[in-house]
Structures are given as structure tokens and as C-alpha cells.
């Protein structure tokens, strides 16, 4: 938190701090070649499947490459924790940290969710977001973050000594065990940091600590994704509800979330193909 400094500022300290920031990962070279086709395709969608995620629980869903899916708020404001995998290879999964490095702290339309090394390719492209009006608020907060992790019973225990079993980490683990027939240990090791769907978060101005505030999401709001690969998604309806007060407990009002999967009737993407994995040759200097 940088508030326990043991060193006086050097004489030229202020001058050193005045250097201009340089974007670490200029993302102008990441082009979504078919963006306008995605927008055409999404105008003529047929719903082919629907999954309701009960509060304080998680469920799996599968989406074929080239289809769309939406995560929708129903009944009341609710935050969701999303994990994504390549359906045919769970080793390729969502990489929150690199997605953050490429797109910033919070995602919206035209951002992509990238997969882990050595694959590093988009798993999805976000094609529509009814909360895109929110931008950033006066506290620097925004929605759909990739700066948080997933709420989990280990941190809960570290901070309060409790045994709580319905954090998103546990919910995601149970969904993988129950629906994908994985051993608990294997399932837990596959769970990864999430896209915090609908969650409103940021870093405080003074200590730069991670904060949350009541999600602006309302029933009917949704975020929509184009599946770049055959995907396994796992979504948890966070025990924090709208995350206005606390998470990792049964205190908050919680609501279900809806996942809808769509096929497009448009043939504009007829010749579209899944993106290839990273072209880096993986020699690492050996």
C-alpha cells in the first residue's frame, strides 16, 4: 500500500516522478478483422440454449465457435464470475492478467478475453454491452473488471477465520466436478481468475486498494460475446449479490443469472475460422 516508507525522498525525487507514462502494451496492432461482420451477424440470432445460474452457485455451459452467448441480469442486480476454457483442451484457459495488460482494468465492447500461454489467442470478442454507458465514475470505478480475482474461501479464512463454502472459487469448482466429472483436486486447479461480470470496481485514489461498489446492472442488462473457439464456460452467481457491501458470506441479496446461447442466421461469417495459437516458436533461447 506504499504507506510505510522508510526512506526520505532523494533531492531529485519529484523530478524522477514527473516522467510521462508509456503504455506497456500498445494494442493498436490487435485488429478485430471481422468486427463489422460480428455486428451484422448479431442482428439475426436464434436462441439455441439457455442456462440459469442459481444464486451462490455456478453452472457450466458450452458454446460452439462462431456462436454468440449473453450473460444477462434477471430478477435483481447480481455479479457473476466467469471462467472460460478451450472446450477440447482445458489447459488453454482465460488469462486475466494479460487481458488486463492488453485492454485495461475493465472490459467492454470490442475487447477480447485472451487465453493462457503458450496459446495466447482470443477466446471471445465482446460484441455488445448494455452497461457501456457507465464508462468510469468519479471514484475511478467501472464494470466488468479483470483486476479482481474470484472470491475464495482461503482469503476469507485468512481475513476472518471463517469456513465459508459458497465463494465463487468453490462454486466454480463444484460446477466442474458435478458437470464435467472431474476429480475435486483437478477441478480446483483448473479454476482461474475471472472476468467479474457486472461487478463495479476500481482502485482507491489514496491507497490504490481494490474497491467494489453497488453494481449498476439492472434486470435486462446483458454482456454479449462471440465465441472464437469451441468453449466451456463456467459462471458463478457471486455470494456478494450486487457487491454493494460484502462478498464471501450469505449476507447479501443474491439473484440468478441467465446465460443464453445463440446461433446467427446470417451467412456473413461463413468463411470465418477460429484464430490460430500464438506464432511464437516456444524455443525460449534454448
Q: Which residues bind Zn ion (CB under 5 A)?
A: 81, 151, 168, 238
Contact of 210 with 203, CB cutoff 8 Å:
yes
Closest distance of CB 79 from Zn ion, Å: 7
Distance of alpha carbon 194 from alpha carbon 81, whole angstroms: 6
Q: Which is nearer to Zn ion, 198 or 222 (CB)?
A: 198
Per the rule left: phi > 0, alpha: psi between -120 and 50, beta: everything else, 144 is left
- Helices vs. strands in the chain: H and E counts, helices first: 6, 13
Comparing CB distances to Zn ion, the nearer of 81 and 224 is 81
Of 41 and 243, nearer to Zn ion (C-beta) is 243
Shortest distance, position 35 Cβ to Zn ion, whole Å: 31
Q: State the Cα–Cα distance between residues 160 and 246, nearest whole angstrom.
A: 13
CB of 168 to Zn ion, least distance (A): 3
The DSSP code for 242 is T
Minimum gap (Å) between residue 247 Cβ and Zn ion: 5
Q: Output the smallest distance, CB 240 to Zn ion, in A.
A: 6
Q: What are phi and psi of 213, to 5 degrees?
A: -145, 170
Q: Give every CB contact of residue 71 below 8 A, 6+ residues apart in sequence.
A: 80, 82, 197, 198, 222, 223, 225, 235, 257, 258, 259
Amino acid at each position: 500500500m506504499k504507506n510505510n516508507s522508510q526512506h526520505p525522498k532523494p533531492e531529485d525525487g519529484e523530478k524522477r516522478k514527473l516522467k510521462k507514462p508509456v503504455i506497456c502494451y500498445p494494442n493498436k496492432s490487435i485488429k478485430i478483422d471481422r468486427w463489422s461482420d460480428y455486428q451484422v451477424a448479431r442482428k439475426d440470432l436464434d436462441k439455441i440454449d439457455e442456462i440459469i445460474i442459481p444464486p451462490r452457485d455456478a453452472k457450466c455451459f458450452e458454446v460452439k465457435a462462431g456462436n454468440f452467448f449473453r450473460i444477462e441480469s434477471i430478477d435483481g442486480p447480481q455479479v457473476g464470475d466467469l471462467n472460460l476454457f478451450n472446450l477440447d483442451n482445458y489447459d488453454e484457459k482465460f488469462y486475466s492478467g494479460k487481458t488486463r495488460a492488453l485492454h485495461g482494468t475493465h472490459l467492454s465492447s470490442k475487447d477480447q478475453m485472451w487465453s493462457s500461454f503458450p496459446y495466447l489467442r482470443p477466446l471471445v470478442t465482446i460484441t455488445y454491452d448494455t452497461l457501456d454507458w457507465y464508462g468510469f465514475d468519479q471514484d475511478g470505478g467501472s464494470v466488468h473488471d479483470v483486476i479482481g480475482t474470484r472470491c475464495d474461501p482461503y482469503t476469507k479464512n485468512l481475513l476472518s477465520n471463517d469456513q465459508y463454502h459458497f465463494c465463487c472459487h468453490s462454486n466454480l469448482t463444484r460446477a466442474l466436478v458435478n458437470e464435467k466429472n472431474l476429480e475435486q483436486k483437478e477441478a480446483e486447479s483448473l479454476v482461474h481468475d475471472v472476468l467479474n461480470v457486472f461487478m463495479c470496481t476500481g482502485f482507491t485514489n489514496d491507497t490504490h486498494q481494490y474497491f467494489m461498489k453497488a453494481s449498476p446492472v439492472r434486470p435486462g442488462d446483458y454482456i454479449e460475446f462471440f465465441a472464437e473457439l469451441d468453449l466451456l464456460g463456467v459462471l458463478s452467481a457471486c455470494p456478494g449479490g450486487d457487491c454493494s457491501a460484502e462478498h464471501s458470506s450469505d449476507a447479501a441479496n443474491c439473484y440468478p443469472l441467465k446465460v443464453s446461447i445463440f446461433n446467427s442466421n446470417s451467412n456473413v461469417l461463413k468463411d470465418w475460422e477460429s484464430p490460430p495459437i500464438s506464432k511464437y516458436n516456444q524455443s525460449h533461447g534454448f
